[in-house]
């Protein structure tokens, strides 16, 4: 067992996890798989990352990485291969994919059709638990409030824009994939899983592109128990924080970090670093000792706790 490998906490149906699983496969970055329930409670993750509730989460030793933007960066930094460069218009399309198009993929179906689909996958009790868990997940987030008709229009336009951007190229990055290929893939992965769109209905360019991205697979992955992962964290020490981030004036303060869009459950800890790219907290427990939990600066807010 290599404690320096990435450990990914995920469940197979997670579209955001699929994005980073395929990225790891594309870049030949080995990783360990820890399966977690589709909804909380997730006791091992609670030990490592407090109340953070979004999936996936990555761990390397005693460092924990939240949000796929940061996990993708970690994977790319450990790869010998390099992703293709991308222009601003491609990045803009990927931003749209992860926000409006992602929720449009879910909202196209009626509530009844969605419930039936979930019952088929999870059973009745599983569907009820999932629905209860997700009921407040995206409250107040505009892209998640679309009507079915609005969602269908948004998703169709997304597919048309994606097809146009691909043109005759195999990937959005040209002849080789860029990060936005994976960011744009997962809303369609979700839509197909929810049966709100059929693969046969995709534009030809998108269908061919989906097959190419899917073909990367998950790469060199080996299963790991959550107990083994926690033991690795306990036997490790967190990596040193970047010097500039460690010089932030609020370092040492007791803070909370929360997403600004969905799943707004705060994580509490001592700030050990913050800059324009990353927020890092120290969390301490008897189970694993000292752990650094990292978040991307974009999409998260850090708030000092009055003491």
Tell how far CA 79 is from the center of its chain.
19
pLDDT band, residue 145 (cuts 50/70/90) = confident
294/139: higher pLDDT: 294
Report whether pLDDT(303) > 70: yes
Whether 161 has a pLDDT exceeding 90, the answer reads yes
Over the stretch 199-258, which tens digit does the pLDDT of each residue have? 999 999 999 999 999 999 999 999 999 999 999 999 999 999 999 999 999 999 999 999
Set out the domains of the chain in order of their start, with CATH numbers: 6-81+221-304 (3.40.30.110), 88-214 (1.20.1050.10)
pLDDT at residue 52, as a whole number: 92
What tokens appear for 271 in the block?
């700030």
Instruction: Write out pLDDT tens, residues 79-124.
Output: 999 999 999 999 999 999 999 999 898 888 766 566 556 656 566 5
What's the pTM value of the predicted model, to 2 decimals?
0.92
pLDDT at 285 over 90: yes
Q: What is the pLDDT of residue 225?
A: 96
Q: What is the DSSP string of 267-292?
A: EEEEEEEE-SSEEEEEEEETTTEEEE
pLDDT at residue 15 tops 50 = yes
**Residue 123 pLDDT:** 64
Q: Is 52 exposed, middle or buried (0-12, 13-18, 19+ CB in 10 A)?
A: buried
5-14, 51-60, 131-140, 259-268: which has the minimum mean pLDDT?
A: 131-140
Do the bridges between strand 57-60 and strand 63-66 make them parallel or antiparallel, or are there none, so unpaired?
antiparallel
What pLDDT, on a 0 to 100 scale, did the predictor assign at position 1? 47
Which residues does 75 contact at the CB level (< 8 Å), separation at least 6? 6, 20, 23, 24, 27, 29
CA–CA dist 165, 103 (Å, integer): 21
Residues 30-89 have pLDDT tens digits of 999 999 998 888 898 999 999 898 999 999 999 999 999 999 999 999 999 999 999 999
């Amino acid at each position: 067992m290599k404690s320096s490998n990435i450990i990914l906490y995920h469940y197979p149906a997670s579209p955001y996890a699929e994005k980073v699983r395929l990225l790891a496969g594309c870049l030949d970055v080995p990783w360990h798989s820890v399966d977690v329930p589709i909804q909380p409670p997730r006791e091992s993750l609670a030990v490592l990352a407090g109340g953070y509730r979004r999936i996936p989460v990555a761990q390397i030793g005693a460092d924990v990485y939240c949000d796929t933007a940061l996990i993708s960066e970690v994977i790319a930094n450990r790869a010998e291969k390099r992703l293709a460069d991308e222009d601003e218009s491609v990045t803009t399309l990927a931003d749209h994919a992860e926000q409006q198009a992602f929720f449009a993929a879910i909202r196209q179906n009626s509530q009844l059709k969605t419930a039936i689909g979930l019952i088929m996958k999870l059973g009745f009790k599983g569907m009820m638990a999932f629905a209860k868990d997700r009921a407040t997940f995206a409250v107040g987030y505009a892209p998640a409030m679309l009507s079915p008709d609005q969602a269908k229009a948004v998703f169709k336009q997304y597919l048309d824009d994606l097809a146009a951007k691909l043109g005759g190229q195999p990937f959005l990055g040209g002849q080789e994939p860029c990060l936005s290929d994976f960011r744009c893939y997962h809303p369609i992965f979700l839509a197909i899983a929810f049966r709100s769109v059929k693969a046969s209905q995709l534009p030809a360019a998108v269908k061919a592109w989906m097959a190419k991205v899917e073909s990367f697979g998950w790469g060199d992955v080996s299963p790991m128990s959550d107990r083994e992962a926690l033991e690795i964290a306990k036997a490790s020490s967190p990596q040193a924080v970047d010097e500039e981030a460690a010089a932030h004036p609020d370092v040492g303060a007791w803070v909370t970090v929360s997403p600004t869009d969905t799943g707004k459950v705060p994580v509490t800890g001592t700030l050990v670093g913050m800059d324009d790219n990353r927020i890092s907290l120290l969390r301490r427990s008897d189970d694993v000792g000292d752990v650094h939990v990292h978040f991307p600066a974009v999409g998260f807010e850090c708030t000092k706790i009055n003491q």
